[in-house]
Amino acid sequence: MNKTKKIKGSDLPVSFEDTSIAFQHKSDHELILSYLIFRLTKNPFLVKFLSQAAKFTLSIGLPVKPLIKATVFKQFCGGEKKEEYSKVIAKLSKAAIGTILDYSVEGTKDEVGFEDTKKELLNIIEQSKSNPNIPCTCMKMTAIGSFELLEKISANKTLSEDEQREWNSIKNRLDVICKASYQTDKPIYIDAEESWIQAAIDQLAEEMMSKYNKNKAIVFTTIQLYRWDRIDYFKRLIEQARSGSYKLGMKIVRGAYLEGERERAHRLEYKSPINATKSETDIEYNKALEIFIDNIDVVEICVGTHNENSCKLLVQYMAENKLANNHPHIYFSQLYGMSDNISFNLANAGYNVSKYLPFGPVESTLPYLARRAEENTAIAGQMSKELEIIVKERKRRKSVH
């Protein structure tokens, strides 16, 4: 296929600069709230302090929940219950943006909790059946199975009888979820997690893809391009899909566990699985887009990124190869509350776009919210970009009032 490396912003069929489109769903009041939250998350020490303070004050029963719910939770989450997140789904749908409901209860550790998560996922899949604004579902393997067991499998360790039973339960749960997605004809994205449990996740995802992706990609796995071994893995998966006559569903992300990966590799003295620099990760990410374009007949992707250059590059490849903006094999996806300039402008130009929308009890989403804030402070330039576009939109609104 025809590929040109250089991104020529002005020639692209979409621009991410129109803030009136980006913030069409936000009132003046909501825009000010977003501004204040992003200002606050610029300070890493304050973010660390506030996330610890929030956990502590909630754990001792102080009434801070309404404050959290009206601020950071509102910015990054859909709500606690269906009545609340349904409003967000409806709002996003007005801008032709789909919602990927992300059941954000973290820290589940026993069989009862894993079964509850499975039921919640089946409930989301059922909702998606009749709701065109929920294009697919997403899940974390650690929400339906034990982290320790996934780690043991990944390290090729021998399992005890109990562990073997537990492993079978994880497989059964996953199969029930993927089968329901298949019957509903809506994809399920399996998130990528820490490298030391990822081999087990990959194994499960590959089994499910070969079983349920015969006609189209229902099960999507995820590759993290901050890992230097993932391009080769992507190529292997493509060969596997071709020889097994099934479609490869692939979510492409940079990776969310950078600090933990580096810390563990250093502590246990093995070679870090992570690229040495951000620019190497960027190169790998864009390489994955190129590989995808070359294999679009057998691969369907979700491009999970807030990186404007990567989004522009894919838009450019699509234009050069005369692929329709709403090509059924291509989805762009961002997290709710972030990079609205990318999501809303892409959707406005007719591209397939969705937002990951976490929901669940405020207390249970705290680890997600803390990670969001901490990750954001760690991403060089991300916060200033979020602030820059909000400031630009506020100025624009003042000038038209």
Ligand X SMILES: Cc1cc2nc3c(=O)[nH]c(=O)nc-3n(C[C@H](O)[C@H](O)[C@H](O)COP(=O)(O)OP(=O)(O)OC[C@H]3O[C@@H](n4cnc5c(N)ncnc54)[C@H](O)[C@@H]3O)c2cc1C
**Contact residues for ligand X (CB under 6 A)?**
191-192, 222, 224, 226, 253-258, 274-275, 277-278, 281, 304-307, 333-335, 356, 379, 382
Looking at residue 43, the DSSP 8-state letter turns out to be -
CA distances to 21, 31, 109, 384 from 389, rounded to whole Å, are 11, 11, 40, 9
* Shortest Å distance, C-beta 195 to ligand X: 10
Q: Of 191 and 300, which CB lies nearer to ligand X in the complex structure?
A: 191
CA distance 237 to 101: 27
CA distance 170 to 116: 13
Q: Of 41 and 382, which CB lies nearer to ligand X in the complex structure?
A: 382
* Shortest Å distance, C-beta 255 to ligand X: 4
* Shortest Å distance, C-beta 372 to ligand X: 10
Which residue's C-beta sits nearest to ligand X? Answer: 304
101 φ/ψ angles, rounded to the nearest 5 degrees: -70, 125
* Shortest Å distance, C-beta 322 to ligand X: 26
Give 317's Cβ-side CA count (13 Å radius). Answer: 22
Q: Of 123 and 272, which CB lies nearer to ligand X in the complex structure?
A: 272
Q: Determine which helix (DSSP H) or strand (DSSP E) holds 335, and give its type and residue range.
A: strand 330-335
Residue 36 CB contacts under 8 Å (≥ 6 apart), including other chains: none
Q: Of 166 and 365, which CB lies nearer to ligand X in the complex structure?
A: 365
Q: Of 166 and 221, which CB lies nearer to ligand X in the complex structure?
A: 221
* Shortest Å distance, C-beta 376 to ligand X: 9
Q: Of 166 and 356, which CB lies nearer to ligand X in the complex structure?
A: 356
Q: Of 181 and 222, which CB lies nearer to ligand X in the complex structure?
A: 222
Q: Which of 193, 227, 121, 275 is nearest to 204 (CA)?
A: 193
- DSSP codes of every residue in 244-257: TT-PEEEEEE--S-
Tell me how crowded residue 215 is: count the other CB atoms within 10 A of its CB. 10
* Shortest Å distance, C-beta 370 to ligand X: 14
Q: Of 89 and 166, which CB lies nearer to ligand X in the complex structure?
A: 89
Which amino acid, one-letter code, is at 271?
A: K
* Shortest Å distance, C-beta 243 to ligand X: 26
Q: Partners of 334 in the beta sheet?
A: 355
Q: Of 117 and 224, which CB lies nearer to ligand X in the complex structure?
A: 224
Burial 296-323 (b: 16+ CB within 10 A, else e): bebbbbbbbbbbbebbbbbbbbbeeeeb
* Shortest Å distance, C-beta 256 to ligand X: 4
Exposed (0-12), middle (13-18) or buried (19+): which is 63, by Cβ within 10 Å?
A: exposed
Longest dimension (CA), the chain: 70
Q: Of 166 and 389, which CB lies nearer to ligand X in the complex structure?
A: 389
Q: Is 134 in contact with 104 (CB distance < 8 Å)?
A: no
* Shortest Å distance, C-beta 332 to ligand X: 9
β-pairing verdict for 188-190 and 330-335? unpaired
Give 115's Cβ-side CA count (13 Å radius). Answer: 5
* Shortest Å distance, C-beta 201 to ligand X: 10
Q: Of 50 and 256, which CB lies nearer to ligand X in the complex structure?
A: 256
* Shortest Å distance, C-beta 190 to ligand X: 8
Q: Is 281 in contact with 254 (CB distance < 8 Å)?
A: yes
Which residue blocks in 321-381 are alpha helix, DSSP H? 340-348, 362-378
